[in-house]
Amino acid sequence: MFNELSDVEWHALRDLICDRPVRTERRGRPQVEQRTLTNAVLWVLFTGESWSKLPMQYPSVPTCRRKLNEWRESGMLDTILKRLQQSGRDISACAGQISKPARSTPCGDTDRLRGVFWTNPASWKPPVAVR
């Protein structure tokens, strides 16, 4: 079972996470509350559930996933988990989640093959059975 951030834990993390000023204009998408977003990311890390099972009370999956990837890339996830541990939270459940996600590098042949179908006039013709 996942327990959301307590006030003490949030106080320990707030200066790390809330580095952007709150927007006052009403144009564009509304900004996601940072405490709720942090709880959503931690929910996935601590429960080990897939993103598709993220409860509806949290922001959208792409928003949460993007934030987790930003934290991993910048190393902030390590700092967040260390501060949570200093605040008394057991982080052993998500210790394996700290590593950076593997990035796949596209193969050079993929781009060349993609163009073959558009540049070869023979590929523009329908199959023999359809003619």
In the chain, domain spans: 7-22+31-100
Write down the pTM of the prediction.
0.67
Please report, for the chain, how many H helices and E strands are present, in that order. Answer: 5, 0
Q: For the segment 64-114, what is each residue's pLDDT rounded down to a tens digit?
A: 999 999 999 988 999 999 988 888 888 776 655 555 444 444 444 444 444
* Mean pLDDT, the chain, integer: 76
Give me the long-range contacts of 29-36 (CB less than 8 A, separation at least 24): 32/59, 32/63, 35/5, 35/10
* Eight-class DSSP state of 122: G
Predicted confidence at residue 21, as pLDDT, reads: 61
The radius of gyration of the chain from alpha carbons, rounded to an integer in Å, stands at 22
